[in-house]
Amino acid sequence: MKRTFTYRLHIFLFLLPALILFLGILIAPIAMSAWYSVHDFNSISSTSMDFVGFDNYITLFSREMTNPETGKIFANDKFMGDALVNSLILAALSVFIQLPLSLIIALKLSKGIRGERAYLSIFFMPVLISTVIIGRLWMNIYDPGKAGILNAALRATGADQWLFPWITSRITSSKLAFTGQWTGFRETALGAAFVPILWQYVGYHMLLMYAGIKGVPAELLEAAELDGCTEGQVNRHIIIPYIKPILKVSVIFAVTGSLKSFDLIYALMKDTTKAELPSTLMYKLLFLHNRYGLGSAIAVVLIVLCFAFALLITLAFRDKGEKVS
C-alpha cells in the first residue's frame, strides 16, 4: 500500500475516536493535575493560583512539619506515608495471599475435577457484584452490635473470649479495648478491608489463570507424565512457567488495583482515617480540605507509582522468564 497523504489521513481517521477519548479524558486531566500539583489553590473556582514548586510534594512526604512562626515541630495530618504503606500492605496481601489462593484453585479446577464448571461459576460470581454493595454487606457482617454476623459467630463459639483480649494486646495506637469494632482501630481496619477485596477478586484472578492453564499444550503434560513427574512437579516446572504472562498480568492488576483502590473503603467505613489509602486521602484533601494542589499532587504520585510498578513487574517477570527458558 502506498504511503500517500490519503493513506495517512485514513490512519488518522481510524485513530481519531480513540485519540479524542484518550487525550481528552485521560491525558489532558493528568497534565492539568500535574499543573495544579505545583500550585497552591484552596478554592476550586478561584482564578488565583500561587506557584509553590514542589512544596505540595514535600508536605505529602513529611511526617512532621515545622511551624514557620514558632519553630515547633508538629504531626502533619496531611502526611501521605501511612496511606502509601497501607496500600502497599494491601498490594502485598493481594500478591502473596490472594494470587496464590487463586492459583491453587485454578490448578485444581483445571485438572478436570467433577463439577469444574459449577465451581468456576460460583467463584467468579462476586466479581459481578457492585463494590458499593459488597462494602455495605461487609459493613453489616462486621457490625459490632447485635446484628453483626461475625461477632455473633465468635460469641457463639466462645472465640471472643481469647481472640478479643489477644487483639487488644496487639493494639498500640489506642488505649481502648477491642470488643469487636473491626473497622474502629488502625490495626484491624485494613485487614477488615482486605477480606472483602479477597472475597471479591479471588474469582477474577482464578479465571484468568484457569484460562492460561487450559491453554497449556496437552503434549507437554503427557510428556511430563511419561517421564514420571508428580502433580507438584508438573505444576512447578511446566504449568507455572507456561502461564507466566498471565501471572504477570494478575500481579500488575493486583498491585495497581491496591494502589488505586477506593470504592470499597469508601463504602465500608464512614470515616476512612483508620484505613487511609492514597485515594481516600486524595478525596479528603480535594473535597473536604479544599486543598486542590495537594490533592492533585497525590494524583500525580499515584499515577507515577502505578506506572513504575507496572514497569518493575514486567521487568521482574522478563528476567525470570529468561532464566527458565
- Strand, helix or coil at 73? strand
Q: Which is nearer to other proteins, 259 or 323 (CB)?
A: 259
215: phi then psi, degrees, rounded to nearest 5? -85, -5
Instruction: Give me 53's grid cell.
Output: 514548586
206 contacts 124 by C-beta, under 8 angstroms: yes
Give start and end residues of each alpha helix (H) in 158-275: 160-170, 186-214, 218-226, 231-234, 240-242, 244-260, 263-268
66 contacts 72 by C-beta, under 8 angstroms: yes
Nearest distance in Å: CB 32, other proteins: 4
Q: Which is nearer to other proteins, 63 or 323 (CB)?
A: 63
Q: Which is nearer to other proteins, 89 or 289 (CB)?
A: 289
Please choose, from the candidates 186, 164, 163, the residue with its C-alpha nearest in 3D space to the C-alpha of residue 173. Answer: 186
Buried-state track 253-286, b at ≥16 Cβ within 10 A, e below 16? bbbbbbbbbeebbbbbbeebebbbbbbbbbbbbb
Cα–Cα–Cα angle for 167, 171, 173, nearest 5°? 160
Q: Which is nearer to other proteins, 153 or 323 (CB)?
A: 153
Nearest distance in Å: CB 131, other proteins: 5
Nearest distance in Å: CB 89, other proteins: 18
Residues in the chain: 325
Nearest distance in Å: CB 215, other proteins: 6
Nearest distance in Å: CB 325, other proteins: 20
Q: In whole angstroms, give the CA distance from residue 211 to residue 243.
A: 9
Nearest distance in Å: CB 80, other proteins: 13
- Strand, helix or coil at 40? strand
Q: Which is nearer to other proteins, 141 or 240 (CB)?
A: 141
Instruction: Give me 209's grid cell.
Output: 489463570
Nearest distance in Å: CB 93, other proteins: 17
Q: Which is nearer to other proteins, 113 or 323 (CB)?
A: 113
Q: Which is nearer to other proteins, 140 or 237 (CB)?
A: 140
